[in-house]
Structure 1
Amino acid sequence: MPYPATLEGFAFQSMGLDRADALRGDAGALRDQWPDAWLIVLDGEGRAAAGADGMPLPLRGAAFGGGPGTAIFLGRTDTQAWFALEASALPALDVAQWVDLRRAAADWPADLASTFAYARGMLYWHARNRFCGVCGGGVTFDRGGFAGHCAQCGNDHYPRVDPAVIVAVSDGERLLLGRQPGWAARRWSVLAGFVEPGETLEQTVVREVHEEAGVRVLGCRYLASQPWPFPGALMLGFEALAAGDEPRVDGELEAARWFTREEIGRALREDGPGTDGIVLSPGISIARALIVHWYGQGTTLTRT
């Protein structure tokens, strides 16, 4: 059976930057890049500085003089470098509005939204790693912001990403969805969970589906991934074939149940604030792409 097509349609998968790792350790080269560089500026809540049109402010390094300082070097396009920094590191800016990442994912060009996600993840890591987790000493950053060093104990620190599986579970005819406490009314989504130490991704799929819904996975297959900087996850998308166990929940989920193809099709067609049916994950998420993929193609896995 052919491998399924890569999932499409979700946010943060279009990276227009060359990360230019070779430049990170060259402080002189980064200073040279600064005057013509584009800056993406975030506030303390992870929102981007934008103009009245909701698009990112066209800020250049030359407008602030000096060099990159504590700015994080994100990489280069064909013509310019990009840096990320906190608004508190700059003089007062004339900002019409601050745009959050979910809005940017829906409204900005895909490559800009992906750059915003990248910047948010890096600045979040900086903000929460100012002190060494080993000895409590102060951490200084170099290599364009990609390496932290504790002068007190000598330990080095690097950006962290938390892997999580997210999985469209089918019994061959139906799709398993769950609800978390606190979600909006009628909101349902595919199941997800973080990878634990010592686990393979496949083992995580089996464990999470059984823990959350009491359903036994018979086999699974990787499809695609999505950076999800809320705050620092990497969502690893799978499809899975499961036994047709009756779902049962035990704490983490409020409810879990099987949905027919007709129910999913209606939800996809009628999804929106006025629907009286179920509400699925938003279009920016790999969760939605997994649901669409299952509805269009079913599962490529078969019982052996």
Structure 2
Amino acid sequence: MSALPDGSQGMTREALAGTGFQLDSPPLLSRSTVDRREELRDSLDGGTRLWKAGRVVLVDSKGRTPIHANGRLAMQPAADFGDAPAPTSVLLGVEDDVSYWALRTDHDGEAEGWLDLRRGGGQLNDTDAGLFTTAVGLLSWHDNARYCAVCGAGTTRVRVGWARRCTGCEREEYPRTDPAVICLVHDGADHVLLARQPIWPPHRFSVLAGFVEVGESLEACVAREVAEEVGVDCSEIRYLGSQPWPFPRSLMLGFTATASRDQPLIPADGEIEEARWVHRDTILAALDADGEAVDGVRLPPSVSIAYRMIKGWATWKP
């Protein structure tokens, strides 16, 4: 392919234009305003001073918390739970001299107003979205880190919930996050590559994603996952943004890449039920459809980074 007037090789003007989009807005679960500095976790009084002016986010075993009709977290004064931090509490951060904590509750019903992050995260403001996301991820880690990975002895929470110490070998362990890439593949013009997993609701399509393996760069993971899931080679891999996804402990790292539509789509057996190239007009219509399917395509929920990536691509104008 001949050189373009700006000296670029190998891509049409349409392809060059298609590489410039960004997320349409910050991912809804990436918002946070509280102070999370490490020194706040090393209080000599075990957090008692912070606790006295604190508010508590209650989270049940299914990751739900009460949310008011006005879209604010229904938090309770920390003093309602005692004069010092509860043994199972975790410090989420501090803002305007108010500390925020999370506690697991034995609530396990379908009470009205109790919502999880998928259903309620999008309606929260920046502070509450960050608090709820951190609470879900941190409490889930504690639930699954009760024994030392080295000697098998029990562990206890320390540093106001930001570490666990082994009662046997005294090794400290810190909250874990699993990096995963999520990539919007487009053709450099007006088509985006979407796929659906067999377990998803009918017509739900999204972009491709997968976990980063040991010794693998993020860009190499993008290329591998796209090839494994739909049999397509991609290029022009570019970073877009990230979002915590505590289900149970992922950090979604968003990328975009380009690929030729001439390549056959080969969905991974048992993992991808269907993959297709979808025109921009269909995506724009689906964005306006408020969760309804358009031409057999229903987009992921707005709380996900996948939605922000798809909308950013579909609405971007060079």
Fold in common (TM above 0.5): yes
Relative distance call for 1:184 and 1:153 in structure 2 (3 A) is same
Write the mapping of 1:273-284 to structure 2, written as runs, cut at 5 A: 273=292, 277-284=296-303
1:247 corresponding residue in structure 2: 265
Match of 2:77 among 47, 50, 60: 60
Greater mean alpha carbon deviation, residues 104-113 or residues 174-183 = 104-113
Question: Gapped runs of 5+ residues in structure 2?
Answer: 1-15
Say whether residues 1:70 and 2:100 are aligned partners.
Answer: no
Match of 1:38 among 55, 61, 67: 55
Q: Tell me which amino acid in the other structure corresponds to 1:280.
A: L
Relative distance call for 1:97 and 1:282 in structure 2 (3 A) is closer
Match of 1:107 among 123, 140, 145: 123
Say whether residues 1:182 and 2:199 are aligned partners.
Answer: yes
Q: Distance in 2 between matches of 1:9 and 1:197?
A: 28
2:227 corresponding residue in structure 1: 210
Q: Tell me which amino acid in the other structure corresponds to 1:225.
A: S
**8 A Cα contact 2:244 2:252, kept in partner:** yes
1:86 corresponding residue in structure 2: 104
**8 A Cα contact 1:168 1:239, kept in partner:** yes
**8 A Cα contact 1:186 1:277, kept in partner:** yes
Q: Distance in 1 between matches of 2:274 and 2:294?
A: 20
Shift of 1:112: 0.5
- Secondary structure of the residue that 2:283 maps to in structure 1? helix
Q: Tell me which amino acid in the other structure corresponds to 1:13.
A: S
2:282 corresponding residue in structure 1: 263
RMSD: 2.3
- Secondary structure of the residue that 2:28 maps to in structure 1? coil
Q: Tell me which amino acid in the other structure corresponds to 2:144.
A: R
Say whether residues 1:127 and 2:135 are aligned partners.
Answer: no
**8 A Cα contact 1:9 1:283, kept in partner:** no
1:296 corresponding residue in structure 2: 315
Shift of 1:77: 0.4
Percent identical: 40
Q: Distance in 2 between matches of 1:50 and 1:218?
A: 43
Aligned length: 294
Which aligned segments of 4 or more residues in structure 1 are displaced greater than 4 angstroms? 1-7, 50-55
Q: Tell me which amino acid in the other structure corresponds to 1:117.
A: T
Instruction: Output the TM-score relative to the length of structure 2.
Output: 0.85
Relative distance call for 1:276 and 1:172 in structure 2 (3 A) is closer
Q: Distance in 2 between matches of 1:272 and 1:50?
A: 22
Question: Gapped runs of 5+ residues in structure 1?
Answer: none
Match of 2:171 among 147, 155, 166: 155
Match of 2:153 among 111, 134, 137: 137
Greater mean alpha carbon deviation, residues 39-48 or residues 196-205 = 39-48
The one-character-per-residue Cα deviations of 1:139-177 (angstroms, maximum 9, x if unpaired) are: 011111111111213322110001111111012122110
Shift of 1:66: 2.2
- Secondary structure of the residue that 1:178 maps to in structure 2? strand
Instruction: Output the TM-score relative to the length of structure 1.
Output: 0.89
